[in-house]
Structure 1
C-alpha cells in the first residue's frame, strides 16, 4: 500500500524503524524514505541454492536449511559464549554455531525450520556451519536473509545487514508504488530501461542476477542522465548571458609582448589563441577550459587574453590556488608587462592590512589593470571597476563554488580555466561538461624527454652524489619531499631535516636552500629569485614547486617518498626539469608498500604523456580518489562509476543535449515529472545547481 510521499516522509514512519533506529540511519545520511530506498546494495550474496553441508569442502560458504533438534550454550572462556544448535537435514545432522549471541537459543525451539548461511568446518566426524546469517522459516512471508539472492548494504555501527534488509523491505512494501516514472518514454524504450517501481524492487531483492543488473543499469543511467542534464542547462544559461563589455582589436601592446618573448608561439598555441579571441569577440561570455601538458605554454596564452582586456581599458584577474604559484605568476607578469606600462598587482591573505587597503582602492578605481592573487580575490571587499577577463589556474585545486565566484566580480566576464593536469575525457564530461575545451597538444621545439628512474630509499645517497656531479657541471637540481615537519601519522622525512642533512652531507659543496609554504612571502620570493638567477644550486622543497616554476637550467628532480604522491602530481613535478638544452633526470625514491604505488611508478617510467598518465591515474585510484576531484565538483554517484560506465555516460550526455535542444525549459507535458526529479536532484546537492 502506498502511504504518502517517499521524498518527504521521514524514515521513522517506516514500519519497524521508529525514532531510535531513525537516529542510527541518520549516521548513514538516510533521513527520508526516498533516501533509504536509494541506499543501494554494494553487492549481492547468492543464497538461493540450498546445498547439503555433506557435499561441500571445509572452508566453503554454504546456504543450508535444517530443522532444530536441540540448542545449547557453553562458555569455553570468559567473554566468549558459544551457541550450538543440532540441525537435521535430508542427509543427516549438522551443527550451526553462533558466537556471543545469547538470544539465539530462545529463538531456536526444537522443530523450528531455519535457513543457515555461513562457513563450513569439518572435523572429528561432524559438520559445523559458523553462521554468518540465518532466517527462521515461518511460512508467512518471503525470505529476506537466506534462500535467495541477498543484498549487502553500505552500513555503519548499530545498523546490521539484517536490519537494513528488514527496513528496506518494509519501505518497499509501503512506498514503492508511490514512485512515478520520470524518464521520458522514448529514452526508456530506446535504452531498454527498467521502469522505476520495478527497478526499486529488483535492485534490492532481485529475482535473478540478470534482473539485478538490469535494475542497477537503470539507476546508473538515471544519475548520469540527471547530472548531464544539469550541465546542459548550465551551458544553455551561459549562452543566454550578454557580456557587459567589448574589446578593441589587438594592438601594439600585444605585439610588443610577443616580440619580447624571445621565441615563436607554437602552432598549438596559435590555434588556441584564435579560439579564445573568437570567443572574446562574441556577445556571450567565454567559458573555456584550457588544457596543456607541463611546459606547453598555457601562461603565455592567458597573458595574451589579459592584454586584450588591458588594451580595451578593462581589467583582468588571474587566480591561483597557492600563494607560491600566485607569486610566480605575479613575478612573471611583472617582469614582462611592467616595462610595457601595464600595472600589475598582487593580492593574497598574507598582504599587510595597510597595503591591502590601498590596493583595494586602486582596484576599485580601475587604476590597476591586472590583479594576480589567491582565493583572497573572492573576498567581499574586493571590488573591480570593470573586470572583463577572469583566468583561473590549476582549477582542480579549487572548489566548484570558487570557479563560479570569481566571474561574479564582473558583469559576465570571459572566463578561462587552465590546468596542467590533463583531464581524462571521462572526467571532463562530468566535472567540466559545461565548458568549451581547448588543448595545447604540443610542447615547444627542443624539449627533451626526461629520463625517469626508480630507486629504493637506501640508494638515495648515491642519487644525491649524482646531483652534486650535475651541479659541478653547471646544472641545478630540485629535491622534493611531502612534508614540512615530521608528522606522527606519516613516517616521512621532512623537508626541513632533509635540507639540513644534505647541506652537511652529500651536497655540502653545493649552495642548498629550503623552500616551503610556511615561509614568509618575501623569503620565498628571495629564494626563488636566487634559484632562478643561478645563485643557488639545489632547492629542497615541498610540493609548492609543483607548478608555475620555470628554471631552464634545472636538470635533476629527486622525489623522496614518491609513493605518497598521486600520478598527476608526480608528472607535474617531473615537468619542472627538462626545460633547457641538457638531458634531464627524474629520480623517484619510495618504498612500494602497495600495488597502487608500484603501478604509479611503473606508469611514470613508461610514459611522459600527461593525458595517458591522467587516464592511468584514474584507473589506478578511481574517480573518488583523484587529486582534487572532490573539490572540483565531482559528484559522489550512488552507483555509477565513470570508468566502468563511460559508455553509459556518453549515452546519458547525448540524451541530455537532445532533450535540452528540443525543449530548453523542459516545459512540455511529458517533461513535467523529469523537471521535478531534476529539482529534487538539485536539493540533494548532487549537481551544479549552485553555479552560474
Structure 2
C-alpha cells in the first residue's frame, strides 16, 4: 500500500464510505493518517461491570454472547436486546426503536462499548450502548480480560462527520497501519539529540496508544516535526525572497494628497507612520513583504486602502483577500465609500458571486479594467488572472497557511505583499511565524473608540447576565452571545449552539428576534442573518467564533462569552473587539467555570487591560497545556497538531534545528531537506511521510 493510495482501495471502504471520507477531507492514505483523534477515552478493563453504580457512564470491553429477537411492546415501541459477557459476568444491552443497532454486532466478537449502567431486580442493563471499537480484528492492542497485567487501554475518538463512526475510523486506520511501514524523515542527529521515537512509532501511538507515556512522546515528536517543517519552509521562503526580490518601483501619486483631504477622519500618528513605511517600500526596486499588525479597531483597513490607491494611480491593479465573505463584503463597502470620489472600478469576488458575474469579473481582471478586487479564497482559483497586478493584501493572515499566501502572491510578477492581522502577536513569536516579513505595528486606537467594561461571572450567574443583556436591548442596543468551538467536533459544536439558541428563545428572549450562526450554516444564509443583525432587525446573535472577525455593528454593546475559560486570551480579546464600535457604553461578560486560581488569573488579565499586545504576551507566558488527552485540530494556520502558543518552546527548538539543517553541507542533511520540501509540495501538510 502506498501513502498516496486512494482511500477507496482500503479494504472495507466502498464507494459510499469513500464519498463520506472525501467530505471529511480524506482522499488518500496520508490524509487518513493525518486525521488525528479529537480526544481519547481511557478504558479500565480491570473494573467489573458488577462494581459499576446506578447511572454510571462506563466504557467496557465485552463479548457478544447472544442477540435476542426484537420484542414488540404494548406502547408500540420495539425493544432490541443483546446479551454481553465480561469475563464471568453477564449484562444486557437494550435499545428502544433502534432495531438497526444490533446489526453492528456479531456473536462471539469482542467490542469496547460505552453507555449508562442500570441495575434492577438483580439484572444489569446498559441502555443504548455505542461501539467505541471492534477489538475482534485488533491483534495489536487488544485486552485480555484474563490477564491481570494489561488492565488499561486508551481509545482514540475522532472528529465525526457524515455518518462515519468512531469504530469505523479505528478499524480502517488499524488495518492501514498493519499494511504500511513509515520511513523516517528527520535527520538521525535530531532524533538522538531529543530522544524522539521513530515516525512510524509516533504515528501508530497517536492513533492507538499503548500507554499515556507513549501517547505524550508521540505528540511531542509529531508536533516537533510539524513545526520543524513549517520553520524550514518559512526560512527557505525568506532566502528565496532575498535572492529573487526584484520589485516594481512605484511613484508617490499626487492624488494621495487629495485622498487624504477627503478622508472622514484624521489618521492617528501610528497609522501615518505605517503608511509612510509602506510607501517607502513601494518606492524601492525591491518587492515589499510586510506584516501589518494592529489591534481590533486600530484602523488597518484605511492603511491598506491608501496604499492600494497609490498602486492603482501608478497604473497597476490591487487585490485584497479576506477569510470570510462577511469580512470581504465589509471591506468592499468600506473601499467603495472611501474612494467614491475617484473614477475607479472596484469589484467583489466571493463564493456566492453568481456564475455569470464571476465570468465577467474574471474577464475584466484579465483585461485590466478592474482596478481593485476584493474577495475570499475565490481569488486564488487557477482561472483567476490579472493583467498587471501590483499589490496584494491578505487580511487576517493567521487564517491562511503559507501555501495559500504563496498561491495568491504568484498571481503576479514582483508584486508587493502586505499581510494584515488583528491578532496581536508577541514580537518573539512573530519572528518565528513571519520570519520572511518586515513588521509594521499600529499601536494606538483612533479617537472615539470605546473602552469596553470587562468582567467575569461563574456559569451559575448566567441568569443575572442575561437579565442585564435584556435591559440593554430595551435601551435599543444589541447583544452577541458566543459559544466555544468544541475542538473540531462539528456535531458537538452545532448541538451546543442550538441548545443555547432554543433555551434563550423560549426563555429570556422569547419576545425578541434572535439569530444563530455557526461554521456549517451556508454562506448565503449566514450573510442574510448578519445583514439582519447589522440592520437591527435581529437583537441577539448567538454564534461560535465565526464572528471573531469581520463584523462591524456599532449598535451592539454587549458581548457574552460562554465557557470563556476554554478560549485563549488573545481570542477572547478579539471577540471583545466586536463591541465598543459605536457611541454607546459597551460591555464584555465572560461566563466561566472558575475551577481554580489559574483560570481566575487568566481572566483578570482581560479585565485589567485592553492592550492586545500585552494580552498576547501574557497568553504566551501563561497558557496551559490543555486537557490531559485533548488537543486541537484547527488547520487555520496550516498546522494540524501543533499550537504555536501552547507549543512555543517546541517551536523555538524546531526553528533552531531548521536553521542548522539549512546551513549544513552534510550530504545526508541536504538529502533530508530536499525530501521534506518535496513532501510539503505534494501534500501541503507540515507532517511529512515517506
Match of 2:579 among 574, 579, 589: 574
Are residue 326 (structure 1) and residue 328 (structure 2) matched? Answer: no
Give the alignment partner of residue 649 of structure 2, picking from 636, 647, 650. 647
User: Once the two structures are superposed, what CA deviation does each residue of 1:75-101 show, in whole Å capped at 9, x if it has no partner?
Assistant: 79542324265955xxxxx44555586
Q: Is contact 1:330–1:345 with CA below 8 Å preserved after alignment? A: no
Find the counterpart in structure 2 of residue 45 from structure 1: 42
Report the equivalent of 2:213: 210
Paired residue secondary structure (1:153): strand
Secondary structure of the structure 2 residue equivalent to 1:216: helix
Asked if the contact 2:547–2:575 (Cα under 8 Å) also holds between the matched residues in 1, the reply is no
- Asked if 2 retains the 8 angstrom alpha-carbon contact of 1:395 and 1:419, the reply is yes
Answer whether contact 2:228 2:655 (CA < 8 A) is retained: yes
Work out the CA distance in 1 between the residues paired with 2:15 and 2:368: 59
Give 1:207 shift: 5.2
Residue 415 of structure 1, CA deviation: 1.5
- Corresponding position: 1:144 with 2:138: no
Distance 1:453 1:245 in 2: 50
Give distance in 2, aligned partners of 1:380 and 1:429.
31
Shift of 1:414: 0.8
Whole-Å separation in 1 of the counterparts to 2:103 and 2:387? 74
Report the counterpart of residue 512 of structure 1 in structure 2: none
User: Using the alignment, how far apart are the partners of 2:164 and 2:395 within structure 1?
Assistant: 45
C-alpha distance in 1 between matches for 2:428 and 2:125: 46
Aligned to 1:509: none
The corresponding residue for 2:348 is 348
Q: Relative to 1, partners in 2 of residues 1:258 and 1:564: Cα closer, same or farther, differing over 3 Å? A: farther
Q: For residues 140 and 538 of structure 2, what CA distance do their matches in structure 1 show? A: 69
Per the alignment, residue 472 of structure 2 pairs with 463
* Cα offset, 1:196, TM superposition: 2.6
> Using a 3 Å threshold, how does the CA distance of structure 1 residues 544 and 323 change in structure 2: closer, same or farther?
farther
1:585 Cα shift?
0.6
Which residue pairs with 1:7 in the alignment?
3
Q: 1:135 and 1:358 mapped to 2: Cα distance?
A: 53
Q: What does residue range 79-118 of structure 1 map to in structure 2 within 5 Å?
A: 79-83=79-83, 85=85, 88=88, 94-95=89-90, 97-98=92-93, 107=108
Structure 1 residue corresponding to 2:186, chosen from 183, 186, 191: 183
How many equivalent pairs are there?
592
Q: How far is the alpha carbon of 1:183 from its aligned partner?
A: 0.1
Cα distance in 1 for partners of 2:527, 2:173 equals 50
TM-score, normalised with respect to structure 2: 0.62
Q: Work out whether residues 388 and 414 of structure 1, in 8 Å CA contact, stay in contact via their aligned partners in 2.
A: yes
Equivalence map 1:124-523=2 (5 Å) = 144-146=142-144, 148=150, 149-154=152-157, 161=167, 171-176=176-181, 179-203=182-206, 206=209, 208-248=211-251, 263=266, 265-266=268-269, 268-269=270-271, 271-273=273-275, 275-302=277-304, 305-306=307-308, 309=311, 316-317=318-319, 321-334=327-340, 338=342, 343-348=343-348, 371=372, 373-374=374-375, 386-394=388-396, 403=405, 407-408=409-410, 410-422=412-424, 435-444=437-446, 449-451=451-453, 456=465, 462-463=471-472, 466=475, 479=478
* Gap change, CA 1:308 and 1:120, over 3 Å in 2: closer
Q: d(CA) in 1 for partners of 2:164 and 2:389?
A: 54
Pairing 1:672–2:667 present: no
Distance in 2 separating the partners of 1:39 and 1:11: 13
Q: CA separation of 1:463/1:409 partners in 2, compared to 1, >3 Å: closer, same or farther?
A: same
SS of the residue 2:439 aligns to: strand
Tell me the distance in 2 between the aligned counterparts of 1:422 and 1:166.
43
Q: CA 1:603 to 1:118, structure 2 compared with 1: closer, same or farther past 3 Å? A: same
CA contact 2:42–2:155 (8 Å) conserved in 1: yes
TM-score, L = length of structure 1: 0.62
- Post-superposition shift, 1:308? 5.1
Q: CA deviation at 1:292?
A: 0.9
Q: CA deviation at 1:246?
A: 1.4
8 Å contact from structure 1 (residues 421, 572) kept in 2 = no
Give the distance between the partners of 1:171 and 1:380, measured in 2 at CA.
34
Quote the Cα distance in structure 1 between the aligned partners of 2:548 and 2:118. Answer: 61
Q: Deviations over 1:126-162 (max 9, x none)?
A: 7969698899999x9766145645342345657664x
Contact 1:325 1:548 in 2 (8 A): no
Contact kept? 1:43, 1:151, Cα under 8 Å: yes
Structure 2, unaligned runs of 5 or more: 73-78, 95-100, 457-463, 482-496, 514-525, 565-570
- Using the TM superposition, give the Cα deviation of residue 326 of structure 1 relative to its aligned residue in structure 2, in angstroms: 1.7
Whole-Å separation in 1 of the counterparts to 2:178 and 2:537: 69
Q: Report deviation, 1:440.
A: 1.2
Name the structure 1 match of 2:491. none
CA 239–501 in structure 1, closer or farther in 2 if over 3 Å, else same = same
> Judging changes above 3 Å, is the alpha-carbon distance between structure 1 residues 134 and 308 closer, same or farther for their aligned structure 2 residues?
closer
Cα deviation 1:232-276 (Å, max 9, x = unaligned): 33333333334352134x58655676677775752x445534543
Correspondence for 1:531: none
For the structure 1 residues 334 and 154, does the alpha-carbon distance in structure 2 shift closer, same or farther, using more than 3 Å as the test? same
Counterpart for residue 75 of structure 2 = none
- 1:305-348 Cα distance to aligned partner (Å, 9 max, x none): 3465467565555566433432222322346xx5xxxx544223
Q: Which has the larger radius of gyration?
A: 1
Post-superposition CA distance 1:290-313 (Å, at most 9, x none):
111234343454355346546756
RMSD: 6.4
Deviations 1:46-66 (A, max 9, x none): 547x46778887759697999
Show CA shifts across 1:476-524 (max 9, x none).
xx75779xxxx99966999xxx9x999xxxxxxxxxxxxx9769x9xxx
Is contact 1:228-1:652 (8 Å) kept?
yes
Equivalent pair of 2:400/2:637 in contact (CA under 8 Å): no
